[in-house]
C-alpha cells in the first residue's frame, strides 16, 4: 500500500494550536462562571412547618405527697366486765352501724335485772300502803282523831316510800343498761380489724384506762387525704385568696385531683376540707386536708398518694407543642420565623405540661409568632427557611411529616 504524505506548513500548525488553546480556555472560564453563580446562590431554604401558639385558659397546679386517714376511727371496748361469750363478725369485714360484734356472758346481768325488778316491786307495794295510810291520816288529823305528831310520822313514811321507789327504778334502769352493754354493736359503719380477744377470756370493762381493747373500726367512705405544704406556698395561697382567687386556702373548698402510686393521671376528684392553724416550727410546713368519695373502697387509711392543688386562678396562656422546645444548657428556647423567613431563637420560661403534649409558655413568646413545630433539628438561628403552615401539604403533594424530637 502506498503512503501519501501531505506537507503542512509551520504557519498552519501554529494557527491550529492557538485555536485549540483558545477553546480550552473558553471552556474553563465558562465552568468557573457557573461555579461562582452556584456559590453565590447558596443552598435552597430548608422546609419547616410553622404554627402560631395556641391560646387556652389554664390553671397552674402544685403537687404534694400525702396519705389517707379515716374520717372516723373507733376502738371497740366493753362497758361492763365479764367473760366473752361469742364473736359475731369475721376479721376485716365491712360492718354497718348497729351490727352485733361481741357478746359477753349475760347470765349475771340477767340476775341483776331480776333482783332490781323485785326490789322495785317491793318498794312500790310499800309505797301503796304508806300512801293509803297518809291519805287516811289527812282526814283523821282534820277530825282531831290523831295528833299532828302522828300525822307527821305517816307523812315521813310516805316520803321515804316514794324515794325508795325512785331508787329501785334507777337500779332497774342500771341493771337493764348493763345487760344491754353485754352486746357490743358497731357504733359507726366501716371496716373492722381483727379480733383482739377470743371467746372465754375475761373482758375488763368500764371507763378507766385499763379496759380491754376488743377491735378497731375505721370508716371508709368518705375518706380524708392529709398532706403538708411549705410556708411559701401557704403565703401564696392566702394572698391569692385575699384577691378572690379560687385556690387552696382555708375554707375555700376548692376541687383537687388525686392519683395513686400506680396511676398516671389525676383521675380522682375531691375537695379541700381543712387547713391547719399552726405552721410546724420544726419542718416549716402546715397541714392540709382534702376529702374524697370512696364508694368502691380502693382508698385505705395509711395509703400514699399524690394530690394536685390549684395554685393560681385561671388565666389566658400561650401553648406550643412540647416537641418544639429546645434546650441550651439550663435555658429553654423555641425557634420562630421572622418576616424575612429567617429563624430567630427566643428563650422562654416554661410552665406546666397540658394533656401530655402542649407546654405552657409563661414568658418570651408573642401570640403572633410563627413557631417552628417541625424541623427544629434541621435549622439554626439566622438560617433561611421555607415555612409551611401546619396542616398543609408539603411541596410535591406529600403530607406534613411528624414533628421530630427537639434539639438538645
Per-residue pLDDT reduced to its tens digit, 43-77: 788 888 888 998 988 888 889 999 999 999 999 99
Q: The CATH number of the domain where 384 resides is what?
A: 2.40.420.20
Q: Please count the residues of the chain.
A: 408
| The predicted structure's pLDDT at residue 210 | 87
Give the phi and the psi of residue 22 in degrees, each rounded to 5. Answer: -65, -40
pTM metric for this prediction: 0.69
Confidence of residue 181 (pLDDT cuts 50, 70, 90): very high
> For the range 335-338, what are the long-range contacts, defined as Cβ-Cβ under 8 Å and sequence gap of 24 or more?
335/371, 335/372, 335/376, 335/379, 335/381, 336/50, 336/365, 336/369, 336/370, 336/371, 336/372, 337/48, 337/50, 337/370, 337/372, 337/385, 337/387
39 part of a folded domain: no
Confidence of residue 113 (pLDDT cuts 50, 70, 90): very high
**Cell 368502691 belongs to residue:** 296
7 part of a folded domain: no
Angle between helix axes 148-180 and 107-142 (nearest 10 degrees) is 160
The yes-or-no verdict on residue 131 having pLDDT over 50 is yes
Which range of 176-190, 232-246, 315-329 scores highest in mean pLDDT? It is 176-190
Number of domains in the chain: 3
The yes-or-no verdict on residue 94 having pLDDT over 70 is yes
Q: The CATH number of the domain where 122 resides is what?
A: 1.10.287.470
Among candidate residues 313, 339, 359, the one where a domain is terminated: 313
Sequence-distant (6+) residues with CB within 8 A of 360 are: 58, 317, 318, 319, 350, 351, 352, 353, 354
Q: Facing residues of 58 across strands?
A: 315
Same domain, yes or no, for 146 and 280?
no
Angle CA 255–258–261, to nearest 5:
175
The SS3 assignment for 257 reads strand
Same domain, yes or no, for 372 and 246?
no
Same domain, yes or no, for 100 and 187?
yes
Average pLDDT value for residue range 10-14: 47
Sequence-distant (6+) residues with CB within 8 A of 234 are: 275, 279, 286
Query: Which tens digit of pLDDT belongs to each residue from 216-228?
Result: 999 999 999 999 9
Angle CA 59–64–70, to nearest 5:
115
Same domain, yes or no, for 384 and 306?
no
Comparison of pLDDT for 249 and 324, the residue scoring more: 324
Using alpha carbons, select from 371, 265, 243 the residue that is nearest to residue 313. Answer: 243
Q: How far is CA 365 from CA 144, 215, 216, 349, in A?
A: 115, 62, 58, 9
Query: Which tens digit of pLDDT belongs to each residue from 253-279?
Result: 788 999 999 988 888 999 988 888 889
Same domain, yes or no, for 275 and 320?
no
Domain residues for 360? 47-56+316-389
The yes-or-no verdict on residue 35 having pLDDT over 80 is no
25 part of a folded domain: no
397 part of a folded domain: no
The yes-or-no verdict on residue 300 having pLDDT over 80 is yes
The SS3 assignment for 304 reads strand
Query: Which tens digit of pLDDT belongs to each residue from 156-177?
Result: 888 888 999 999 999 999 999 9
Q: Provide the percentage of residues in the chain whose pLDDT is more than 70.
A: 82
38 part of a folded domain: no
| The predicted structure's pLDDT at residue 403 | 45
Contact in structure between 45 and 385 (CB atoms under 8 Å)? yes
| The predicted structure's pLDDT at residue 74 | 94
Comparison of pLDDT for 355 and 211, the residue scoring more: 211
Same domain, yes or no, for 229 and 306?
yes
In whole numbers, what is the pLDDT of the chain averaged over residues? 83
| The predicted structure's pLDDT at residue 13 | 43
Comparison of pLDDT for 194 and 406, the residue scoring more: 194
Confidence of residue 85 (pLDDT cuts 50, 70, 90): very high
Same domain, yes or no, for 273 and 188?
yes
Same domain, yes or no, for 140 and 101?
no
Residue 222: cis peptide before it, omega within 30 degrees of 0: yes
| Cell matching residue 133 | 295510810
Q: The CATH number of the domain where 100 resides is what?
A: 2.40.50.100
1 part of a folded domain: no
The yes-or-no verdict on residue 139 having pLDDT over 90 is no
| The predicted structure's pLDDT at residue 185 | 94
147 conformational bin, left if phi > 0, alpha if psi -120 to 50, beta if neither: beta
Query: Which tens digit of pLDDT belongs to each residue from 368-408?
Result: 888 988 888 888 888 888 888 876 655 444 444 444 444 43
Contact in structure between 136 and 150 (CB atoms under 8 Å)? no
The yes-or-no verdict on residue 34 having pLDDT over 60 is no
Same domain, yes or no, for 228 and 257?
yes
**Cell 369475721 belongs to residue:** 90
Average pLDDT value for residue range 9-13: 46
Q: What is the dihedral of CA 309, 315, 320, 325, to 10 degrees?
A: -60
Same domain, yes or no, for 189 and 155?
no
Among candidate residues 181, 203, 218, the one where a domain is terminated: 181
The yes-or-no verdict on residue 84 having pLDDT over 80 is yes
**Cell 316514794 belongs to residue:** 162
Amino acid at each position: 500500500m502506498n503512503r501519501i504524505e501531505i506537507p503542512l506548513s509551520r504557519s498552519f500548525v501554529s494557527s491550529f494550536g492557538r485555536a485549540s488553546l483558545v477553546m480550552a480556555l473558553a471552556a474553563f472560564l465558562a465552568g468557573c462562571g457557573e461555579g461562582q453563580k452556584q456559590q453565590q446562590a447558596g443552598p435552597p431554604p430548608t422546609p419547616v412547618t410553622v404554627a402560631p401558639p395556641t391560646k387556652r385558659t389554664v390553671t397552674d397546679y402544685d403537687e404534694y405527697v400525702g396519705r389517707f386517714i379515716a374520717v372516723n376511727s373507733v376502738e371497740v371496748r366493753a362497758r361492763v366486765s365479764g367473760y366473752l361469750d361469742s364473736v359475731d363478725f369475721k376479721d376485716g369485714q365491712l360492718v354497718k352501724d348497729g351490727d352485733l360484734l361481741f357478746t359477753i356472758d349475760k347470765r349475771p346481768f340477767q340476775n341483776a335485772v331480776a333482783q332490781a325488778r323485785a326490789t322495785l316491786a317491793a318498794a312500790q307495794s310499800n309505797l301503796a300502803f304508806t300512801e293509803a295510810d297518809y291519805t287516811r291520816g289527812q282526814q283523821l288529823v282534820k277530825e282531831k282523831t290523831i295528833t299532828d305528831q302522828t300525822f307527821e310520822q305517816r307523812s315521813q313514811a310516805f316520803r321515804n316510800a316514794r324515794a325508795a321507789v325512785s331508787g329501785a327504778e334507777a337500779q332497774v334502769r342500771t341493771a337493764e343498761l348493763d345487760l344491754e352493754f353485754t352486746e357490743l354493736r358497731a357504733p359507726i359503719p366501716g371496716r373492722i380489724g381483727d379480733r383482739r380477744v377470743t371467746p372465754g377470756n375475761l373482758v375488763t370493762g368500764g371507763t378507766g384506762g385499763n379496759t380491754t381493747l376488743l377491735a378497731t373500726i375505721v370508716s371508709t367512705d368518705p375518706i380524708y387525704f392529709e398532706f403538708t405544704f411549705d410556708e411559701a406556698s401557704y403565703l401564696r395561697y392566702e394572698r391569692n385568696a385575699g384577691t378572690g382567687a379560687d385556690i387552696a386556702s382555708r375554707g375555700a373548698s376548692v376541687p383537687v385531683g388525686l392519683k395513686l402510686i400506680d396511676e398516671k393521671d389525676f383521675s380522682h376528684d375531691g375537695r379541700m376540707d381543712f387547713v391547719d392553724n399552726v405552721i410546724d416550727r420544726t419542718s416549716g410546713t402546715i397541714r392540709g386536708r382534702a376529702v374524697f368519695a370512696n364508694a368502691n373502697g380502693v382508698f385505705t387509711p395509711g395509703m400514699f398518694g399524690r394530690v394536685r392543688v390549684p395554685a393560681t386562678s385561671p388565666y389566658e396562656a400561650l401553648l406550643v407543642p412540647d416537641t418544639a422546645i429546645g434546650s441550651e444548657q439550663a435555658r429553654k428556647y423555641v425557634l420562630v420565623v421572622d418576616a424575612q423567613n429567617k429563624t430567630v431563637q427566643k428563650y422562654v420560661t416554661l410552665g406546666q405540661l397540658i394533656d401530655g403534649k402542649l407546654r405552657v409558655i409563661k414568658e418570651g413568646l408573642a401570640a403572633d409568632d410563627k413557631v417552628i413545630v417541625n424541623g427544629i433539628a434541621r435549622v439554626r438561628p439566622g438560617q433561611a427557611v421555607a415555612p409551611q403552615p401546619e396542616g398543609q401539604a408539603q411541596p410535591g403533594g406529600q403530607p406534613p411529616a411528624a414533628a421530630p424530637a427537639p434539639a438538645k
